[in-house]
Amino acid sequence: MKKTIYTTHVIFKEIVRDKFFLFLGLSSLLFFLLTIIFNEMVVGQTAKVTKDLTLSALNIFPFLFLLIYGTRLISKEIESKSIYTILIRPFKRWEYFLANLLALFFSTIILNLIIFLLGITTIFIFYGEIWIKAPFIHLLFTLLESLLLSGFAVFYSAIFSSSVSVMLFFITYGIGHSIEESLKSITEGSGVALKPFLNIIKFIIPNLSFFDYKTELLYSIKIPERTLTLSALYSFTYTFLIFILAVYFFRRKEL
């Protein structure tokens, strides 16, 4: 376990020092400065646009980070052959995979915290409003989503090439956020023939709507107390299953 912890630490430092991670951090600062301009264009909606964009940013930036960086975390090591210097040591493949997963997830935590602090600071400085509870709750849901998505990113990265990993991750994210709405449309009567197909997909691709409560938080609609607990169980269980599946295929992969 010590090897896993050490490797996680090394990979984590490499990620947060990467130019792309720093670029996203600086981009988030610019993003919030631009929200001030957008908000001034909306008459009678003081700070609302900035609040909405703050919640959205907590999803957008981690998604971009995982899409562009996370999906090539292991594949770039395989393609450059540098993974051999690690796996020739007494270091099991599941330990290496777990180290990458943890390092990637911890990096998304840092990125999310930066965006969270920038958001609430922007609201306080420019609008004089202390707005913490809603973005903090959304931060917790976003971290649960980031854990699950980190599992998929590393899974795809370990099994497929960088380009294929990006495509699969994008599809997973897109379907994961739209499948609930698709099923609702079918329930209302349109596209009944697709219902069996979508129900199968629902068990393969995670339902990311379990982590999306932006509208409720923005308009101060009460969220059931057990929702966060159920979302956490869903995220941990799904990530664990992805981990087991990824380790199985990663062990069988010829390097």
pLDDT at residue 196 in the model? 67
- Please state which of the ranges 45-54, 202-211, 231-240 shows the lowest mean pLDDT: 45-54
User: How does DSSP assign 177-220, residue by residue?
Assistant: HHHHHHHHHHHTTS-GGGHHHHHHHHHHS--GGGG--HHHHHTT
pLDDT at residue 133 in the model? 93
Rounded CA separation 211/213 (Å): 6
Q: Domain limits at 128?
A: 2-252
> Model confidence over 83-132: pLDDT tens digits?
666 666 666 778 888 999 999 999 999 999 999 999 999 889 888 889 99
pLDDT at residue 58 in the model? 93
- What is the reported pTM? 0.89
Instruction: With a cut of 90, say whether residue 137 has pLDDT above it.
Output: yes
Number of domains in the chain: 1
Judge whether 194 and 175 are in contact, CB under 8 Å: no
Q: How confident is the model at residue 140 (pLDDT cuts 50, 70, 90)?
A: very high
pLDDT at residue 85 in the model? 65
Instruction: With a cut of 90, say whether residue 249 has pLDDT above it.
Output: no
pLDDT at residue 217 in the model? 92
Taking residues 228-241, what's their average pLDDT? 95
pLDDT at residue 39 in the model? 66
pLDDT at residue 213 in the model? 92
Cα dihedral across residues 155, 158, 161, 162: positive or negative: positive
